[in-house]
């Protein structure tokens, strides 16, 4: 008996060791010194394959997942710990990094932003000129793929595909290249990183069909927001009815599916960026991201640098981790970092309580209503302490059946909470904000009657449900309402500064519409994205910086069409310096996170204004060499700088004394142990010749600000002029733990070129 038990234990140990050896392999991104390639190899790919084979005899043809040639110097491979350690010992290897999992940052907008077709946009030209120029601009969207049959990708009236285009539409078991057209001119998918992870021990979800088809909806939504064709009678089950179209409806679209059910893996994202650059896109749009990291560890930042060098404008979402400070993603200065604001459109719904208290919330519920008879109201009635959040299996059916349930917002998806209520027998839900979401209201297409309310209203409803002997509620729905005031308001979920990677660069850059956005949707999934939602809709309403990012990508494409000789930095500057910071009540922008006024750590330069951006007057341009000087000022090891800019001969002999010396369109002044900070900026005239600008400065009483000269005169188009601004922390002012803000504006009768300024006294101010 003892011997058989010992044998059994040995077998278990052997199996455990085998399991560990098999599960130990995972995906790594290997950063190489590409100039070290021996001349005996004709390609870097051959060198990488040989390098892997030399590590061990266990290397197989599928060990190498991707070879990166443009966005990154290196490759992605499936490696075990011993192979990783061997590579790290190589002089030709800069670094070996575990594959990072990134997440998605999930028709009224063209009119709200001044892009209605009846309006002449482009100074000196008409809308038709801009439409025709847009035909040559290609927007590449890295996301969950595309539903090509959507009317938003109709190519009626579009000319032949530009000759410069080198992309293609890949085939899959559910995707024929024939579904592409003169609008949707490219569709690819990248899944090797995802498949390696899903085959491992930590992500055991079923694999998806490898094709560019969108089974999630997110990619179709973002793609159509950026460049969707005009579609009449668009709506989500009757809500937001009207004509839907993207920001650049005459631009071309190419989609790169890099996100799957478990998220978006860095190895796949890099492969998508690599291919998009080679295909010839003009704009890259990424509504995804992770945490912040040094730029040499940030795969999106490294890929975006290569894109910027080739004249590609890169727009990324800031993240949905607001209103927490220092919560930004995608903060590299060569990336446009986009936060989210509201529209002037709402979807009101109403709650009438038994104590005669009535309040307004929002909802996109489109089914049969509750009638006109109040029913019982309950809160926190379940089997455990998560009942207040309406987490799965937390509610007691005996206590909630036939009643309206109050659910706290947070932890699980808003629409899932309604499904949990329905499963427990509830007939309606009040989704009540907590302090984390404040007064921000996001509408959802719930499966049962449901109304979302703000924190203050939610607190009173929770108290009523707990204190009244017989609480009741009735929910009713009000459809779509336009011209809502105030708007825009910064979304509470929109991630905030300061920038923790480089505090001297103010982020986010600006905000765009990102709350309750109507755009095209995948036919493969219902509007709530829940498995039990079998409703089909051609359009859906979604919220997130995922939605604001493609708005800016589309407007960037318009600027690229209007000014094909502008650099990505010039386009970025035009968008930032013309953004507005007052709402439609002529009041400073407000913040849904706290209910008070917003500031540049929330809205950056302000809310995008496409019309003004097309004719900004002046721009802050930045060359690749200036970005190199910026990177050299960050005290990175020289090989890390070389890894980002992909040049072996960079020595950092030229670098800024302070990263804030970059010719950025905004300022972030970090005093630290200094009292005086001085920056010089250069402006390029893209307006008329013989233009004169005067400076107007605003700032807090704790800081003295002086600008020299106070007037700039540009005799010709393209002329460059410099100015120096000095910031002085006044004596007697204690080092403050909070931030202050101001602005520097160069203006004349035609143009207002405005830069926000953030002031910090401590290094890491949150």
Q: Which sequence positions are flagged as catalytic?
A: 143, 218, 546
Q: Are 379 and 406 in contact (CB under 8 A)?
A: yes
Peptide bond into 709 cis (omega under 30): yes
The half-sphere exposure of 300 on its side-chain side, counting CA atoms within 13 A, is: 32
* Separation between Cα atoms, residue 89 and residue 189, nearest integer Å: 33
Taking the C-alpha atoms of 112, 116, 121 and 125 in order, what is their torsion angle to the nearest 10 degrees? 180
In sequence order, what DSSP letters do the residues of 529-581 get, joined into one string? --TT-----SEEEE-SHHHHHHHHHHHHHHHHHH-TT--HHHHHHHHHHT-B-
* Separation between Cα atoms, residue 182 and residue 156, nearest integer Å: 8
Question: CB neighbours of 683 closer than 8 A, spacing ≥ 6?
Answer: 618, 619, 620, 712, 720, 721, 722, 723, 746, 753
Phi-psi region of 616 (alpha: psi -120 to 50; beta: other; left: phi over 0): alpha
* Separation between Cα atoms, residue 172 and residue 265, nearest integer Å: 20
* Separation between Cα atoms, residue 227 and residue 243, nearest integer Å: 14
Q: Which two tokens stand for residue 119?
A: 């309006």
Q: H/E/C letters for each residue in 337-374? A: EEEEECCCEECEEEEEECCCCEEEEECCCCCCCCCCCC
Question: What are the residue ranges of helices labelled H in 633-701?
Answer: 638-645
Peptide bond into 486 cis (omega under 30): yes
Of the candidates 202, 221, 201, 219, which has an alpha carbon nearest to the alpha carbon of residue 211?
219
Phi-psi region of 468 (alpha: psi -120 to 50; beta: other; left: phi over 0): beta
Q: Which two tokens stand for residue 252?
A: 């071309």
DSSP H or E run through 58: none
Q: Are 348 and 481 in contact (CB under 8 A)?
A: yes
Integer CA distances (angstroms), 408 to 218, 435, 436, in order: 25, 10, 11
Q: Provide the 10 A C-beta neighbour count for residue 750.
A: 12
**597 forms bridges with which residues in the sheet?**
590
Burial letters for 286-301: b for 16+ Cβ neighbours within 10 Å, e otherwise? Answer: bbbbbebbebbbbbbb
**753 forms bridges with which residues in the sheet?**
746
* Separation between Cα atoms, residue 486 and residue 582, nearest integer Å: 10
Quick check: helix, strand or coil at residue 608? coil
Taking the C-alpha atoms of 449, 454, 460 and 462 in order, what is their torsion angle to the nearest 10 degrees? 50
Map tokens 């990166």 to a residue.
68
């Amino acid at each position: 008996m003892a011997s058989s038990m010992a044998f059994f234990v040995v077998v278990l140990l052997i199996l455990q060791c085998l399991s560990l050896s098999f599960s130990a392999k995972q995906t790594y991104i290997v950063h190489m010194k590409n100039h070290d390639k021996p001349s005996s190899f004709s390609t870097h790919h051959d060198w990488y394959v040989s390098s892997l084979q030399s590590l061990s005899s266990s290397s197989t043809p599928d060990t190498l997942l991707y070879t990166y040639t443009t966005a990154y110097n290196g490759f992605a491979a499936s490696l075990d710990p011993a192979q990783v350690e061997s590579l790290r010992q190589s002089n030709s290897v800069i670094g070996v990094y575990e594959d990072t999992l990134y997440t998605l940052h999930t028709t009224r907008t063209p009119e709200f932003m001044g892009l209605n077709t009846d309006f002449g946009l482009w100074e000196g030209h008409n809308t038709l000129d801009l439409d025709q120029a847009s035909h040559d601009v290609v927007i590449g969207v890295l996301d969950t793929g595309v539903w090509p049959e959507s009317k938003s990708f109709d190519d009626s009236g579009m000319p032949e595909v530009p000759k410069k285009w080198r992309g293609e539409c890949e085939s899959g078991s559910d995707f024929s290249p024939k579904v592409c057209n003169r609008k949707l001119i490219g569709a690819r998918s990248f899944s090797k990183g995802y498949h390696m992870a899903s085959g491992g021990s930590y992500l055991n979800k079923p694999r998806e069909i490898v094709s560019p088809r969108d089974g999630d909806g997110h990619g179709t939504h973002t793609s159509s927001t950026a460049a969707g064709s005009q579609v009449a009678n668009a709506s989500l089950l009757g809500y937001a009815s009207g004509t839907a179209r993207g920001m650049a409806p005459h631009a071309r679209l190419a989609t790169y599916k890099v996100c799957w059910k478990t998220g978006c893996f860095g190895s796949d994202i890099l492969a998508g960026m690599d291919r998009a650059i080679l295909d010839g896109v003009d704009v890259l749009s990424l509504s995804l991201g992770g945490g912040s990291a040094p730029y040499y560890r940030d795969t999106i930042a490294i890929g975006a640098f290569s894109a910027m060098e080739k004249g590609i404008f890169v727009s990324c979402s800031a993240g949905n981790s607001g209103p927490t400070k220092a919560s930004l993603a995608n903060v590299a200065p060569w990336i446009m970092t986009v936060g989210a604001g509201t529209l002037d459109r709402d979807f009101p719904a109403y709650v009438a309580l038994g104590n005669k208290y009535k309040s307004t919330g929002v909802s996109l519920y489109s089914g049969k209503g509750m009638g006109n008879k109040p029913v019982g109201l309950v809160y926190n009635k379940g089997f455990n302490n998560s009942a207040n959040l309406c987490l799965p299996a937390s509610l007691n059916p005996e206590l909630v059946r036939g009643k309206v349930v109050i659910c706290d917002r947070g932890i699980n998806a808003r629409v899932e909470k309604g499904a949990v209520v329905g499963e427990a027998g509830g007939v309606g839900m009040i989704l009540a904000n907590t302090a984390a979401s404040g007064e921000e209201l996001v509408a959802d297409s719930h499966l049962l009657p449901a109304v979302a309310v703000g924190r203050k209203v939610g607190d009173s409803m929770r108290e009523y449900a707990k204190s009244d002997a017989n609480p009741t509620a009735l929910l009713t729905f009000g459809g779509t309402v336009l011209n809502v005031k105030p708007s825009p308001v910064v979304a509470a979920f929109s991630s905030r500064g300061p920038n923790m990677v480089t505090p001297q660069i103010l982020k986010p850059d600006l905000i765009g519409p990102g709350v309750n956005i109507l755009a095209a949707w995948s036919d493969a999934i219902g509007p709530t994205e829940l498995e039990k939602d079998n409703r089909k809709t051609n359009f859906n309403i979604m919220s997130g910086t995922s939605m604001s990012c493609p708005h800016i990508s589309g407007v960037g494409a318009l600027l690229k069409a209007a000014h094909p000789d502008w650099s990505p930095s010039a386009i970025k500057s035009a968008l930032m310096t013309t953004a507005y910071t007052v709402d439609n009540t002529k009041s400073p922008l407000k913040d849904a996170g706290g209910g008070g006024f917003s500031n540049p750590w929330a809205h950056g330069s302000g809310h995008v204004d496409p019309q003004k951006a097309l004719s900004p007057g002046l721009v802050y341009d930045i060359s690749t060499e200036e970005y190199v000087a910026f990177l050299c000022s960050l005290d990175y090891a020289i090989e890390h700088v070389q890894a980002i800019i992909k040049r072996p001969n960079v020595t950092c002999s030229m670098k800024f004394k302070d990263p804030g010396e970059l010719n950025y369109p905004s300022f972030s002044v970090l005093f630290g142990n200094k009292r005086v900070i001085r920056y010089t900026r250069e402006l390029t005239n893209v307006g008329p010749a013989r233009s004169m600008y005067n400076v107007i400065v605003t700032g807090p009483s704790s800081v003295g600000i002086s600008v020299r000269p106070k007037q700039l005169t540009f005799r010709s188009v393209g002329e460059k002029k410099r100015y120096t601004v000095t910031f002085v922390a006044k004596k007697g002012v204690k080092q403050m733990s909070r931030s202050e803000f101001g602005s520097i504006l160069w203006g004349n009768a035609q143009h207002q070129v405005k830069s926000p300024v953030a002031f910090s006294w401590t290094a890491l101010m949150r």
